[in-house]
A and B are shown apart, each in its own frame.
Chain A
Amino acid sequence: MADISSQIIDRIEAARRDAEPLSIVAGASKRFVGRASEGSPLDVAAHSGIVSYEPGELVLTARGGTPLLDIEAALDEYGQMLPFEPPRFGGSATIGGTLACNASGPARPWSGAVRDAVLGVELITGRGEQLNYGGRVMKNVAGFDVSRLQAGALGAFGVISRISLKVLPRPQRTLTLVQELDAARAIVHMNELAGLAKPLSGAAWCDGRVYLRLSGAETAVEAAARQWGGSRLDAAASFWRDLADQRLPFFRSAAPLWRFSVKPSSTLPAIGGEWLIDWGGAQRWIHGDFDRSELERFAESAGGHASLYRGGNREGEVNHELPEALKALHLRLKNAFDPDRILNPGRLYSWM
């Protein structure tokens, strides 16, 4: 529970001098994300601790290395929660890593991703400068949104040393309905229900069953549940937790795990294998030894992108290929923050 930013800065400055690539690590819960890391570890786990928490403002500020479990425990005392239901991946996940991976759970389509909850970020760039963007207030449009730019950047711009987040009150009541349905019909069903003004907060399909979570005011949740029917799932909380943390039986396969992030209503591509569908259709998982470019074509025709999320060959590209103009822009942006390319080089793409 300390502020070690000056050590982080020293380390980055030294690495710059020595042209030594660094691989940023905190909880090490998401080492598998992105390409294989190059560089000596820059361990920022000790840079942790909640800096401030004002329940009345719905704002919490924490250092990047703070474990999610600590943050969630603090919020719980005041009946509040992180809106984006982040995966904890074994419990060591930190808030900085969560933002760097833009890792968000089943509530994502309704309460936003971690990128949506971010109010401000302090960043230690590849030049060793400690910079602040955004703030601790709900609305802030002064300057470019460098805070949200960190979401999913896998540390390419710098070490996320501090984050301010919008938090939310816990819903009064939550329940889950479950019903047998095939995948194609489930996709249509989930999208149709998401278009109704009901307190939907999760919609997933797995192993022939569609799971619908309702959260909100007691009366509203009960009324929607009565109207929609289906059986009520016991131990629903652990189902959604295991879905977020990828601990459902589906995820036990050792084969490479692919992620599709697509238009929620798009039809499933005709590729062999078992799917798991989350985010009301917008996030889909499949295991197998596929050809990356073939999956990318399917994902593009579904309005989104595909990535090799876990396992498989992590020396090659794992993220969806970018058009040349965007590639060049990515390089120029990377260069604007980390001109010597010492922070997590090659983690997002081999060429960056």
Chain B
Amino acid sequence: MTSSERATRKAELARRLREIVAPEYVIDDAETQRPYECDGLSIYRELPMLVVLPATVVEVQAVMRLCHRESVPVIARGAGTGLSAGATPSPAAVVLSLARLDRIIGIDPLARTARVQPGVRNLAISEAAAEHGLFYGPDPSSQIACSIGGNVAENSGGVHCLKYGLTVHNVLRAELVDVTGERLVAGSEGLDAAGFDLMALVTGSEGMLGVVTEITVRLLPTPEAAQVVLAAFDSVSTAGDAVGAVIAAGIVPAGLEMMDGPAIRAAEAFANAGYPTDASALLLCEIDGTAEEVAEHCARVERLFAELGAVSTRTSRDEAERALFWKGRKSAFPAVGRISPDYYCMDGTIPRGKLAHVLTEIDRMAGEYELGVANVFHAGDGNLHPLILFDANLPGNLEKAEEFGGRILELCVAVGGCITGEHGVGIEKLRQMPAQFTDSEVEQMHAVKRAFDPSGSLNPGKGIPTLRQCQEYRALSRPSAA
């Protein structure tokens, strides 16, 4: 297509979209499109052909029908906080923002569910449910901003997922608009649905199978009490062993998080959470439940940590202190953003027992690449977030950070883990997918995709590598990092 043909096609499509959606919600100029050029992983940037923001499900359907007829790829977008370039546009595509579908349709306190539109912010659900003594379990650190539609698309987790599960464990039903504009329902208001478990398949499918237009989530009773035990250690491996010991003692904490020295110091400087800045590792262990249970378990956890070599332990005395302890952890990413011009967040998951080994290896590789690393870690469920510190203004620095990151992910796979625990594959981790999947496994996923989207128009080029990309990876990959 010549550039003038492209311009005509764009103008024609914009005109027809404006017959569906209020004209000001079809964005065709580069300047107004700018906020949509990337998601939270801004090293990947691209402007789309058009951005469209429908207001209703009927409008979403009409947009999908039009794009389908015209063979235009569609990229669904929530709040754009994703960390794997899943919502990054491509030049020939329409970005379909769900931001205006932001209504909480209803809360059913007796059945303990909330029916919401996809653009509702994660935290808004818990806020609305609070008057009924209920909350929505998965709490990504981005919860003030990220949308529930994006959470479903990524199967997002949070610091409380150890006890309350991931998105997939907390959503009951979803309405989708498929690539042709047809409405489909996955799941039910019961605990399973007739036929295949499409709710599970759609959760985490990164906008590649359908556009999520309505979600029914499960709500949980707000615990009577919660306290956090904060424990400092002088080595990450002792802290890692202490994590295993809590689990082995039969205690299921609501959250069990770990930070290493650099992360502790960055978070403390940012949030003044009262963290011991001379520690090499910090554990935050939240216990919730009835008042009796919390008191009993906190005492046991504190004792356990002390026996296992904690240098110091503290238990939050009240809600304000508990919130403060979490504030440090939840602001760890922006905090690290202040100590380094740029940082690159990785998301591998490993068996807990391999923690010390993996952290030592990461440290060694950091030396090799001459880059700093701060580690934030959903320790209870083995999900690592090494934050690689770099400076994009230094030539070659970003490429070095990316290569280092890739090797961390390969290491995770080599010790029995995986390349992404909660951020998704997007564009970013396409390269490492062949480390985790064989060509046949990749091809089977393409077959699943084709069952939903035969024309390959939904978020193309994301999530699953082409077989060609797999071959390139295998040809290039050095002997495994293990």
Residues of A within 8 A of B (CB): 54-59, 79, 102, 108-109, 112-113, 115-116, 125, 129, 131-133, 135-146, 148-149, 151-153, 156, 168-170, 172, 188, 191-192, 194-199, 216-220, 223-224, 261-266, 279, 282-283, 302-305, 307, 319-323, 325-326, 329-330, 332-333, 335-337, 348-349
Contact = CB atoms under 8 A, between A and B. Distances in A.
B349 interface: yes
B182 A325 contact: yes
Contact of A139 (B161, B198, B293): B161
6 contacts: A144-B201, A152-B192, A191-B110, A197-B221, A220-B293, A319-B195
Nearest to A279: B191
A342 B450 CA distance: 21
A251 B157 CA distance: 40
Interface stretch (B313-321, B376-384, B387-395): B376-384
Interface string B418-445: 1111111100010001001110110011
Given A139-B421, A141-B421, A151 B289 contact: no
Given A153-B196, A219-B290, A146 B112 contact: no
B155 A141 contact: yes
A144 B445 contact: yes
B204 A144 contact: yes
Contacts of B334: none
A64 to B, nearest CB: 17
B91 interface: no
A143 B190 contact: no
B108 A219 contact: no
A283 B425 contact: no
Given A116-B169, A152-B196, A54 B351 contact: yes
Interface string B286-303: 000110110111000000
Contact of B289 (A56, A216, A333): A216
Name the residue among A138, A191, A326 with the largest chain B CB count within 10 angstroms.
A138
Given A57-B352, A144-B445, A303 B189 contact: yes
A335 B184 CA distance: 19
Contact of B197 (A57, A149, A172): A149
A142 B436 contact: yes
Contacts of B349: 135, 137-140
A164 to B, nearest CB: 10
B429 A142 contact: yes
A142 B203 contact: no
A112 B112 contact: no
Contacts of B438: 131-132
B106 interface: no
B310 interface: no
A149 B221 CA distance: 28
Count chain A CB atoms within 10 A of each CB in B381, B441, B444, B463 and give the residue with the most: B444
A145 B383 contact: no
B223 to A, nearest CB: 5
B200 interface: yes
B130 interface: no
Given A131-B444, A145-B201, A282 B110 contact: no
Contacts of B420: 140-142
Contacts of B289: 197, 199, 216-217, 220
B166 A139 contact: yes
A195 B110 contact: yes
Given A142-B433, A199-B290, A223-B290, A217 B463 contact: no
Contact of A131 (B183, B429, B441, B449): B441
A194 to B, nearest CB: 7
Given A137-B351, A261-B192, 10 more contacts: A57-B352, A137-B416, A139-B161, A139-B383, A149-B196, A152-B197, A199-B289, A219-B292, A264-B111, A320-B194
B292 A138 contact: no
Nearest to B382: A137
Given A57-B353, A148-B200, A138 B383 contact: yes
A218 B29 CA distance: 63
Nearest to A136: B416
Interface in B112-152: 112-113, 132-134
Interface string B259-294: 000000000000000000000000000000110110
B168 interface: yes
Contacts of B451: 329, 332-333, 335-336
A176 B64 CA distance: 52
Contact of A282 (B191, B193, B248): B191
Contacts of A304: 188-190, 193
A336 B190 contact: no
